[in-house]
Amino acid sequence: MVVANWKMNLNLAEALVVSGMVAKCSEPLRNIDIVLAPASVFIYPIYEHVRIRSKNLKLALQDFYFEPEGAFTGEISAGMIKGVCSSVIIGHSERRKYFGETDEAVNKKTKFALKNNLAPIVCVGESERFHLEDHYQTELKRMKSSGGIISQIDKALAGLSKADIAKVVLAYEPVWAIGTGNAATGVYAAAVAYIVKTYIEEKYGVPADEIRVLYGGSVDQKNVKEYMLQPSLDGLLVGSSSLNAKGFCEICRITSEVKSGQLL
Ligand code: PGA
């Protein structure tokens, strides 16, 4: 799965141009899921624009609220994008940092997404870099401590059935790597994904190979192959490099080729 998180970028004209180009290049890449997450105000025009151009491009919301309707000024409900979006990004570090999104809200949104047949793309990430190579046990402890990614995952998955946990897509996004150009190495991201999958299998009984973990944080056309060659990484969440259609299409093409075994 490759997700383009456009954040608060692109005006309508730009968004139509980029989404049209991505729709075209996504069409033959049938072995991967390609997902665009535009600003919510453009979801409908983009949906109309891309659905006639590609059967292989899905849309996601960047956020939503966990109530079906009501007096919640500024919010969007799952019902409003029914049939238009297939997934929703939940708990992105920017939402946690600037909009006070708590682990509890992430849990409520995850449950609400599942209830409404939307795949939750739950973002987790620590703010300081681990040194996995040196002190595995110490770092595992740190992952489980407050603010660590395992603690974020436990809170996000609280109260979910095994079947529902298998539908959650986890996006490992180290905060220090987002928008900094300081990407995690493929080996590092893969090690974290592996630890996360093993932990979920042991704690929740969901087989590790049923859990999808994406990596996000300064992904671009140059480093995409490094991540996709790692078996424990199932895809990417791409921010700034997804704003350029040519670059994003290249990321999708490389992902498709690596995961189908054509590009090693
Ligand atoms: P970036 O953003 O690719 O610009 O680092 C990733 C994200 O925030 O999802």
Burial 218-234 (b: 16+ CB within 10 A, else e): bbbbebbbbbbebebbb
Ligand 1 centroid–CA 219 distance in Å is: 7
Question: Which stretches in the chain have pLDDT values below 70?
Answer: 132-136, 264
Ligand 1 centroid–CA 216 distance in Å is: 6
DSSP-derived 3-state class of residue 170? strand
Residues 7 and 239 sit within 8 Å (Cβ to Cβ): yes
Residues 222 and 228 sit within 8 Å (Cβ to Cβ): no
182 lines ligand 1 (CB under 6 A): no
> What integer pLDDT is reported at residue 194 of this predicted model?
92
> What integer pLDDT is reported at residue 132 of this predicted model?
67
> What integer pLDDT is reported at residue 264 of this predicted model?
67
> What integer pLDDT is reported at residue 11 of this predicted model?
98
- Taking only the tens place, the pLDDT of each residue in 29-87 is 999 999 999 999 999 999 999 999 999 999 999 999 999 999 999 999 999 999 999 99
Amino acid at 70: G
> What integer pLDDT is reported at residue 3 of this predicted model?
98
**CA–CA–CA angle 231, 126, 86 (5° rounding):** 60
Determine the Cα–Cα distance for residues 12 and 220; give it in Å rounded to an integer. 24
> What integer pLDDT is reported at residue 138 of this predicted model?
75
Determine the Cα–Cα distance for residues 33 and 166; give it in Å rounded to an integer. 16
> What integer pLDDT is reported at residue 8 of this predicted model?
98
DSSP-derived 3-state class of residue 141? helix
Asked whether the CA dihedral 234, 45, 112, 100 is positive or negative, the reply is positive
> What integer pLDDT is reported at residue 129 of this predicted model?
77
Residues 73 and 122 sit within 8 Å (Cβ to Cβ): no
173 lines ligand 1 (CB under 6 A): yes
Determine the Cα–Cα distance for residues 120 and 110; give it in Å rounded to an integer. 6
pTM of the complete model:
0.95
125 lines ligand 1 (CB under 6 A): no
